Amino acid sequence: MSFNPGTGLVYIPTMKTAMRIASARDDRNLQDFDNEHRKYFPVQASESELIKRDPDDGTAGLLAWDPVAQKKRWEAHYADSFWNGGTMTTAGNLLFQGTGRGQFLAYDARSGKKLWSFDTDLGVIAAPATYEVDGVQYISLLVGYGGSAGNGTALFDYGWRFNEQPRRLLTFALNKHEPLPPTNPPRFALRAVDNPTLAIDSKIAADGEKVYHSSCFLCHGAHLQSTGSIAPDLRESRIAMNWDSFTAVVHEGTLAGAGMPKYADLTETDVRALYMYIRRMARDSLTAPH
């Protein structure tokens, strides 16, 4: 959020959703997770469900809040963009924010009137910054979608895929006009790959699901359904099709320099189970009705 001394308002990115949380029906998810390399969140002991109680659940907004009067002054609603960026406000009473859909927006900080927009070709979660050089005011914005959106629900999925749209630092100034190089559009269709000759062991795959959700889901998404662009969708990965390549990446760290951690503490049994789970999920996605 940001604060403007001139308007006296605080500008807050908001998200609204309802969630029902209850005790787990049984402790099956808490069993057999005592290995040191498996770190679990307390939510494993509960069951949660996103629900839609009010008409605007699952929507986001931009709230202009008066901290003295403790009341809302104005609000912008984003019906189609739930995971959005931080805000920045200027002495000229402008307010800037990027959205998960990739729109960079400028508002009148006093009234909330939208004054300008720019398509960044990728979702935005960062807050912009403003500065002056040689008497010219600039606004810079890091464009890149990810963070916790990678393991979010469909609310977070805007079609941004790993390595398909470039991260960029965009800088703006008045009377400066330069078009962005073209990039790939958002993609929602899954391009899963499979080796039909591989026999899937359902028991080993079930064990792999536990390994996956203890070590992998924060980047690759719950149930392999990544909704951000921070890591590949493993159902589409050809590396994850080949046992030797998969082991080299996961256990030996051959892609550590590219950001994929080395999981040397996983046993061969763990890695085999993880491999089988990924192969099962890829195959299931190919046979599921669309």
- Tell which of 107, 138, 172 closes a domain: 172
Give the number of domains in the chain: 2
Tell me, what CATH number does 87's domain have? 2.120.10.30
If asked whether residues 159 and 201 sit together in one domain, one would say no
Cβ atoms of 230 and 162 closer than 8 Å: yes
If asked whether residues 160 and 264 sit together in one domain, one would say no
State which H helix or E strand residue 281 sits in: helix 268-287
Which domain does 138 fall in, by range? 2-17+58-172
If asked whether residues 163 and 223 sit together in one domain, one would say no
- Tell which of 138, 172, 206 closes a domain: 172
- Tell which of 123, 143, 172 closes a domain: 172
If asked whether residues 109 and 196 sit together in one domain, one would say no
86 within a domain of the structure (yes/no): yes
Give the rounded percent of residues in the chain with a pLDDT score beyond 70: 88
273 within a domain of the structure (yes/no): yes
If asked whether residues 7 and 138 sit together in one domain, one would say yes
Tell me, what CATH number does 260's domain have? 1.10.760.10
264 within a domain of the structure (yes/no): yes
Which tens digits make up the pLDDT trace of 42-86? 444 444 456 778 888 888 999 999 999 999 999 999 988 889 999
β-sheet with 59-66: strand ranges across: 2-4, 9-16, 59-66, 71-78
If asked whether residues 267 and 136 sit together in one domain, one would say no
If asked whether residues 63 and 168 sit together in one domain, one would say yes
Nearest partner of 228 among 132, 160, 139, judged by Cα: 160
Structure tokens at 16: 């609204």
What per-residue confidence (pLDDT) applies to 32?
Answer: 43
State which H helix or E strand residue 279 sits in: helix 268-287
Q: Please tell me the distance from the alpha carbon of residue 84 to that of residue 204, in angstroms, as a whole number.
A: 39
Regions of the chain short of the pLDDT cut 50:
29-48
Give burial (CB, 10 Å; 0-12/13-18/19+) of 184.
Answer: middle
28 within a domain of the structure (yes/no): no
CA distances from 46 to 20, 23, 25, 42, 62 (A): 10, 5, 8, 8, 31
If asked whether residues 90 and 230 sit together in one domain, one would say no
